[in-house]
Structure 1
Amino acid sequence: MAGPLHTLRSGQRWISDTEPELGLGTVVGVEHDRVTVSFIASGERRIYAVGNAPLSRVRFAAGDRVESVDGWSMQVEEVEEQDGLLVYLGKDADGKPRTLEEIELNPFLQFNRPQDRLLSGQIDPGDVFRLRIETGEKLARLEQSPVLGLVGPRTALIPHQLYIAHEVASRHAPRVLLADEVGLGKTIEAGLIIHHRVLTGRTEKVLILVPNMLLHQWLVEMLRRFNLRFSLIGEDAYEDAAEEGSPFKDVNLALSSLDFILKDPERRRYVLDVAWDMVVIDEAHHLEWTPEKPSPAYAFVEMLARRTPGLLLLTATPEQLGKLGHFARLRLLDPDRFFDFEQFRQEEQEYTALAGVIDKLLDSPRLDADTLGQLQHFLRHDRADALVGDLNDPEHAAAARNALIQLLLDRHGTGRVLFRNTRNTVHGFPSRLLHGRPLPLPEHYRTQKASLEARLWPESARPDPDWWRHDPRVHWLLDIAQRLKPSRSKLLVICHRQQTAVDLENALRTLGGVRAAVFHEGMSIIARDRAAAWFAEEEEGAQVLVCSEIGSEGRNFQFAHHLVLFDLPLDPNLLEQRIGRLDRIGQHHSIDIHVPYFEDSAQEILFRWYHEGLDAFHRPAAAGAAVFARLGDELRRVLLAPDTHAGITLIQDTRTLAETIEAKLHAGRDRLLELNSCRPEPANRLVEAVAAWDRDTALWPWLEAVCDAYGVVVEEHSTDCYILRPGEHLRVPKFPELPEDGVTVTLSRDVALAREDMVFLSWEHPLVRGAIDLVLNGEHGNASLGFVSHPALASGQMLLETFHRIECPAPRRLQLFRFLPTTQLRTLLDHRGQDLGRIAMAEFDERPQTFEPANVRAFVRSQKPNLEKLLALAETRAGTRLTEIVADSSRRMLDEMTNELKRLAALRSVNPSVRQEELDRLKDDAVEMHGYLQAARLRLDAVRLLITV
């Protein structure tokens, strides 16, 4: 901005219109009709004639962020002028009031405001301008998606998993027990919940505690499936951080084992000192508790749970360890609700009657008087008389039944804190085919001492390291491996003991040249991971993986479908865990279960007890643990002294007891849980909503345009698959999440599930989210010049098109974008200030033309006074719309929050599982959001000068 001599003062900050790349200049001298400006950032000095100096005064406004020469920054709230110099008043990042004189501005400040770049002639190509606008529209659509947080994970679209994730992740501070049967995907559900909450800002600090043997599996799964980079904290990390203190304090996503933490009081203190937002405990059934003596692990988790808002407990056996064990886990989730075991048992008595009423609502065309009476009893506090009356109205009966079922499920039982899906309700599982193989009992095993271990695992009682040369089970196993070799079928072998696994792997190699890997607790975690990875390789991988009992928990080998149970465990839960390594949702083959056992031995009795008593090989035995708790001592007695008659009696008693227990489970608690753990209609809507994002074809053209604009090289790989590499002329030091050697990506969920070597790109992937931030938060594309034609406009006119973005800084946990998403307010003015906003951006016929930068700067300089007036007018008009938008957003927010408060308050009146804390937090959030909405402001995000031709 040129001006009279008296307007220039030493210390003022100006920018060169003709050489904006020089950076922020400082007036160092004004003599006669000359002004000297020093550009420290570029090490240049310029002398200009005052009368026609191509300079513009740098003046930041309220809302801008500025940085001092000392490196600290502040947000401007007021601007004062003292003796011709500007003084900025505001607050720094810590909220501390600050004052900054313009002479103290950092000379390396970038001038990326669109108005500054336009007025200084810094013009970007039109396609980059349009990309910026399009990106804002894409972000707004994503922020409004009802499945935000569920689109990006590399997981199959399975209804019950999406339903649980959406239901749990949407709560203020979720505290739930994920107790799906083995193979239904509890780890996936936990990952979906964490991903949803981290992506939407509701959770920042997460601690996952798992058994030692599952550490690396969780680490890889969280990264590969959910793009969540957890820090693994074990012995190495602990030693590295020893000098600096706690390795947990500066980590947002931490993964560790409970055993590691419990070894040292200091480690326990370090974990408890962190304000975690959420804690996840896998294999929670290992937390033992009695009212008199909780285990150390339980006591520690209880302390951690009391100071952590969110808690996820994962177990496949919620009640199989007994009602006391089940109650112990529920009291971790809500000690105020579950404080007395006897009271808990009394409340359970109503569950059978409640399930009966729901069954009648689901299946009976007309309710009898008794059922109606029970229904009215359960809904006596719910003012549901109108819905009950509609049951007799053919037009409204179906809707009334659905509404009544939802009321009953919401208001009763443990549905809000416990989710348990079973194979009875979730489809997609393979059949199980049992191949039992009786073998003669070797004489040297028959003469061994009669301990239970020696009878079930006879090789354990022999000091002979070459036992496998004489054991018929080994030769039988070798024969199976050889028969399956031509078909390249994988064979998972599980046995009880570590040494048995080691010897079997050696036997397979020595006797048959079989490519076999071993997996046991004596190996390091990395060694186990390598063995599992070698087994997973299709072409050159191991044909057989031999596991000790630790292969029964956590690991998924569903690419295989042949399972050898070299021996049988004594615990029904362990048997189901073993089978569950292969029998999982998504398995495409029948599971062939091969079981050798010695005739006329304890092994045969145990095999028949599982097969004929519990039917545990063909389906999960829901009553297995409860039966074992009742008949386990008798089973051990019979195994120690095998007797045909006693064995037959035990098997008959087992079958009768199992049928009785399973009938009770189906009639009461399990039926309610199944209904509440996955409601089909909303679950299917979630699947369809995510699938719609998968079908959306807008992602790749947009991302390809971003790559082109920023210098990323794109190569086609195959259908829906591409290779991205940093180009030689990358416009930024590093493109978000793009490795230096490039990456192969796919936009197909099916391809991503089959090809783990490819990155699954979605609108939620960190690379895509980083690209969105790069486009919207940088200067690239925020000032442009275009030549256009339109039937309603004569040629030779100058138009100004502006896009103001509504900014409403608020904590991410509030998810304020639900009510005020990224919003761009477009204004189109002609040179006289007349509003031409009726002409949409897409209606212009753009005419690409080349122009010299010097000519553009000259033209802009000649139009500068008028452009400044138009910019001010555009801001005024956008400001009027801002008031209306904020008012509408506030109304929608208050309506939704009020409705949710009423719903939860009604639930709390009949279901104590709704915590008062949830209601209080909702009220506080509503007040907080209203305050932030009222403080929303405008920022000019992009401006384009248009010339009609």
Structure 2
Amino acid sequence: MVARTTSTQFIPGQRWLSETEMEQGLGIVTEQQGRIVTVFFPVTGEDRHYACHDAPLARFRLLPDEQGQHGDGWTFRVTSVSEQAGLLVYQGIRTDTNTSVTVPEVQLAAQVATHHPLTRILAGKTDRLDMFRLRQMAHHHLQRWQQSPAVGLIGARVDLLEHQLYVASQVADRHHPRVLLADEVGLGKTIEAGLIIQRRRLTGRAERILICVPDSLAHQWLVELLRRFNLNFSLFDQERCEQAASSGEVVFASEQLVLIPQSLLDHPFWSAELLEVDWDLLVADEVHQIKPAEPRFQKLQQLTQHIDSVLLLTATPEQAGLEAHFARLQLLDPDRFVDYEAFLAEQERYRDLAPQAEALAAAGDDAALDDLLDSYGTGRVMFRNSRRHIGGFPVRQLHAERLSSGDALQVRFLWLVELLKKHKQQKFVLICRTPEMVLTLHEMLRVQHGIHAAVFHEHLTLVERDRAAAYFASPEDGCPLLLCSEIGSEGRNFQFAQHLILFDLPTHPDLLEQRIGRLDRIGQQQAIHLHVPIVPNTPEEILFAWYQAMDAFTQPNAIGSLLYEQFEQVIQQLCQTVATPEFDQAQVEQLIQATQTQAAALRAAADAGRDRLQELNAYRPHHLQALTQAIDELQRPAELEQFMTEFWERFGVDYERADEHYGWLRPTEYLRVPLAGVPDEGLAITFSRSYALIHDDVTFLTWDHPFVQQAMELLTNDVFGCTAVAKLQNKALAVGVWFIELHFSSRVLAPRQLAVQEFYPHHNFRVLLDSKGRDLTDKVAAEVLERQLHFVDKKQAKLILKQLRSDCQQHIQGALEPAEQQQQQALAQASAAMQQQLERELTRLQQLQQRNPYVRPSEILAIQHRQAGLLEAFAQPLLQLDAARIIINIPE
């Protein structure tokens, strides 16, 4: 919107804006008697009387392409403006019905967007020059971020590992992905799922997300999603469902991000309520735990039929047999997976191609390998990376210490003290079964030997756990030992430590693997040392022998769960009788022999069943070059820190760097607007990924982070920095010569799931005019001009604005044409790029569909739908004035 005082003549029905009281909204001239004009302001219900020759009023006028609001509440886009008897009449398109409308200015709504640049200029409202510059910087960063293929992939508190990035990038951009993520233990399926979720959210492809996990992992998932991805999911267990139901609304409609335990699927009412919400994405973890014959599986099947996009996660896809694996694949594509016998035959044909694929991989013939994998691989349905294929895992070294008989706790405690003294400079993680044992050890170490340790158990709050982890992690002030209950083997990774103490042993192999997995993760740079104290005639003696028989300490143990199912009763009996006369040593020998035999058979079967074709398909390093380059271009932590530091300084947030790695953020009494997520007491932040990985309590900022997104949104959508006056000191120009620099915001409005910003991000077009209205945009580069501009105080700026405001409207009207030309050029380039990319994708899928039945027809339709939708959106761009800066020459 713009305004202009054309004369001192006021006509009833005209709309004017108060320069001194913009909050009054639009006023209506009701009468003019002699030298006095009366203006009624509907927003406040007040009449104001002004001297005609000196009224602090600005004429309100909408320009073509701007949005207006009718007094009845509906909005319209202006197409043309005419004047009849001194009153403005707008022709436009109503936005809700897409019909033509005629709106006399008297019918305009009283509320007015007071943040519009020219409205503020007319009222003498300007910002500091540095705020204007910060706004332009935000526009630049927002455009670069929106268009990057790395959006959503850089913000996680994780190492950016290539195989995870490959899976995430392959899945996240599909229109309706339906895949099984089946990487082996320790390769990061949860991270892959989180990256996919985050990218789909930030690009608009998914908003409502449902995650279903085993009950025992619900807390771990909540922590991982919040800590690693800044995703604040709500846990809906039975108690939460009952609370939500009391409001009378659909239970799961109150939140966008919902996590449920698997047991909720057993509840007939709550599971039915899940189907009342239009979810964009379903993620189900540990799906191998849900047997096809169980009623719970049928509920999961209903969800997969109800929700278009589905991610199923399991590290052991064939653990319960190929038939159960086939049933899970049917959840993803029931039209493709119909006949089990045909599926088996197809798998055998794929395995026959494995030697050919291996040869191509060894020869480095990427093009031929891609053609083979695309034609026959199952990677569109299932991704399974293996440790053997990825590499980069540490060696496990077992240090078992057989101790003397006696009080088991006291004997192990004395051993622990000696171990810590022997390795004073090392970090140790000790995991035991219960929080009671954690507290007992903590007190014994402190009182008897003055050894301070951090504690980590389920009775602590999340904040207390964060502090304990940070205390342990700190290389300067931290402690050498972290005491964990069994929860210490869930949800946290301590890759900076190399020593794990198994003070006692869990009864289930999967728990043992989880404990070891806190240190033995991909990215661990050194060998893992496992310290196990063994006291004779204790359950640990039996468990240690059993675990050794299955080789559970020195290598990943994917078969442990199957062995436990087979030997559970024997193990329990031996552990219960180990210190009694009923104990039978011969039975132990039989257990060891049977375990060794069965473990060898299970591993051989697993290796024989390995689908090498699937393994090669799940990670193609040669496809990652463009993505890794995009990630490097987007991250730029130094540039991000500069931008955020300037933002905090302008908005009343104190940022104090503690050292080169992190700083402290704290809101001050001068805070301009409330900032979500910044507590009054402040918080520690870092821009360093490596530092964030070992300091969970420090907030990790990237361009994906909500803090940064909030800053860019405030600076590009709100009033901040949209007007300014700057001083030019050029002796070659006459005193008082002035220019106006205008920035136009260009957007294309389309349904979010079309991700239009990937082809046409938020644009900011610059037009520079001199006082005669001549276009100097191409003649004076922005960066050259910027270096010559200086600050003007508010009082002087207001006088300049008042003097030039009449000319500003004429110049803005004249700037629309060059801005539209820039927009048309950008749209043509975006449309061409979009057509080229989507046509390439479409042709590839259509050709693949002739050879590979895993390409679903819906994938092809989705590309065609996106192409048509984007073409329609590109035909209706929205161009609006975003910021204006008046530059006046005042040489010293």
TM-score, with length taken from structure 1: 0.81
1:807 aligns with 2:747: yes
Query: Structure 1 stretch 42-51 or stretch 247-256: which is displaced more?
Result: 42-51
Displacement after TM superposition at 1:227 (Å): 1.4
> 1:568 & 1:112 partners in 2: Cα distance?
63
How far apart, CA to CA, are the structure 1 residues paired with 2:297 and 2:69? 50
- Quick check: 1:142 aligned with 2:83? no
Distance 1:756 1:607 in 2: 33
- Distance of aligned partners of 1:92 and 1:243 in 2 relative to their CA distance in 1, 3 Å threshold: farther
Match of 2:513 in 1: 576
Q: Aligned equivalents of 1:278 and 1:217: distance in 2?
A: 20
Q: Tell me the SS of whatever aligns to 1:317.
A: coil
Out of 57, 76, 87, the residue aligned to residue 55 of structure 1 is 57
Q: 1:882 aligns with which of 801, 823, 831?
A: 823
The answer as to whether partners of 1:519 and 1:528 remain within 8 angstroms in 2 is no
1:757 partnered with 2:759: no
Distance across 2 between alignment mates of 1:787 and 1:664: 77
Deviation at 1:421, TM superposition (A): 2.1
Query: 1:254 is aligned with what amino acid?
Result: V
Alignment equivalent of 1:945, drawn from 874, 886, 892: 886
Q: TM-score, normalised by structure 2?
A: 0.86
Question: What CA distance in whole angstroms lies between the structure 2 residues aligned with 1:58 and 1:943?
Answer: 17
> 1:383 aligns to what?
none
Q: 2:601 aligns with which of 622, 641, 657?
A: 657
Q: What is the CA distance between 1:819 and its match in structure 2?
A: 1.5
- Corresponding residue for 2:678? 738
Encode CA deviations 1:684-737: one digit per residue, 9 max, x unaligned.
6644543454445222222222223333333332225333333333333x1354
The 5-angstrom pairing of residues 51-450 of structure 1 reads 51=53, 53-61=55-63, 63-66=65-68, 72=73, 74-77=75-78, 91=94, 102=105, 105=108, 107-244=110-247, 245-259=249-263, 261-289=264-292, 294-363=293-362, 401-436=365-400
In 1, are the aligned partners of 2:16 and 2:28 still within 8 Å (CA)?
yes
CA distance in 2 between counterparts of 1:638 and 1:243 reads 50
Residue segments in structure 1 that go unaligned for 5+ positions in a row = 365-397, 441-469, 496-500
Task: Select the residue among 540, 544, 549 that pairs with 2:483.
Answer: 544
Q: Is residue 534–residue 541 contact of structure 1 (8 Å, CA) maintained in 2?
A: no
- Code of the residue aligned with 2:206 in structure 1: it is T
3-state secondary structure, aligned to 2:39: strand
Q: Does the C-alpha gap of structure 1 residues 220 and 823 become closer, same or farther in structure 2, counting only changes over 3 Å?
A: same
CA separation of 1:869/1:302 partners in 2, compared to 1, >3 Å: closer, same or farther? same
Is contact 1:627–1:658 with CA below 8 Å preserved after alignment?
no
Deviations 1:54-88 (A, max 9, x none): 43221234544455678x45244466878766576
3-state DSSP class of the match of 2:145?
helix
Q: 1:661 to 1:118 in 2, by over 3 A?
A: same
Q: How does 1:523-922 map to 2 (within 5 A)?
A: 537-538=471-472, 543-547=482-486, 556=493, 558=495, 561-564=499-502, 566-567=504-505, 569=507, 573=510, 575-587=512-524, 589-594=526-531, 610-612=547-549, 614-621=550-557, 642=586, 650=594, 653-654=597-598, 657=601, 660-661=604-605, 663-665=607-609, 668-669=610-611, 671-683=612-624, 686-687=627-628, 689-732=630-673, 734-789=674-729, 796-837=736-777, 838-844=779-785, 845-848=787-790, 850=792, 853=795, 859-860=800-801, 862-922=803-863
Deviates more, 1:636-645 or 1:903-912: 636-645
For residue 148 of structure 2, give the secondary structure of its aligned residue in structure 1.
Answer: coil
Residue 578 to residue 288, structure 1, CA distance change in 2 (3 Å): farther
Q: Secondary structure at the match of 1:118?
A: helix
Tell me how far apart the structure 1 counterparts of residues 147 and 780 of structure 2 sit (CA, whole Å). Answer: 26
The 1:435/1:271 distance shift into structure 2, 3 A limit, reads same
Distance in 2 separating the partners of 1:743 and 1:502? 29
Q: Cα RMSD over matched residues? A: 3.9
Q: Gaps spanning 5+ residues in structure 2: where?
A: 473-477, 576-583
1:850-869: per-residue Cα shift (whole Å, max 9, x none)?
4664x655655554554333
The alpha-carbon deviation at position 636 of structure 1 amounts to 11
Instruction: Give 1:891 deviation, angstroms.
Output: 1.5
Q: Kindly indicate whether the alpha-carbon contact (under 8 Å) linking 2:266 and 2:295 is maintained by their aligned counterparts in 1.
A: no
2:37, 2:230 → 1: CA distance? 55
Deviation at residue 201 of structure 1 after TM alignment: 1.0
Deviation at 1:510, TM superposition (A): 9.3
Cα distance in 2, alignment partners of residues 656 and 220 from structure 1? 37
Which residue, out of 418, 435, 438, partners 1:483? Answer: 418
Mapped contact 2:10–2:32 kept (Cα < 8 A): no
1:474 and 1:504 in contact (8 A); partners too = no
Aligned residue for 1:188, secondary structure, equals helix
Q: Is the 8 A contact 1:805 1:822 kept in 2?
A: yes
Look up the SS of the partner of 1:905 in the other structure: helix
Q: 1:574 to 1:348 in 2, by over 3 A?
A: farther
- Looking at structure 2, the residues matched to 781 and 493 of structure 1 have their Cα atoms a distance apart, in angstroms, of 54
Relative distance call for 1:186 and 1:96 in structure 2 (3 A) is farther
Matched position secondary structure for 1:941: strand
Task: Work out whether residues 466 and 697 of structure 2, in 8 Å CA contact, stay in contact via their aligned partners in 1.
Answer: no
Give the C-alpha shift of residue 739 in structure 1.
Answer: 2.8
Per the TM alignment, residue 273 of structure 1 is displaced from its structure 2 partner at its CA by 1.0
Output the CA distance in 2 between the equivalents of 1:494 and 1:155. Answer: 27
Letter in 1 for 2:746: I
- In structure 2, how many angstroms separate the alpha carbons of the residues matched to 1:852 and 1:360? 73
Identity of aligned residues (%): 37
The answer to which of 111-120 and 537-546 deviates more is 537-546
- Structure 1 counterpart SS, 2:761: coil
Kept in 2, the 8 Å contact 1:623–1:661? The answer is no
TM-fit CA distance, 1:828: 1.8
Kept in 2, the 8 Å contact 1:567–1:596? The answer is no
Whether the aligned pair in 1 keeps the contact of 2:211 and 2:258 (CA below 8 Å) is: yes
SS in 2 for 1:775: helix
Distance 2:123 2:660 in 1: 45
**Equivalent residues of 1:15, 1:57 under 8 A apart:** yes
Q: CA deviation at 1:303?
A: 0.4
CA change 1:17–1:632 in 2 (3 A) is closer
After superposition, give the CA deviation of every residue in 1:366-401 in whole Å (9 maximum; x if it has no partner): xxxxxxxxxxxxxxxxxxxxxxxxxxxxxxxx6xx1
Structure-1 separation of matches of 2:465 and 2:126: 57
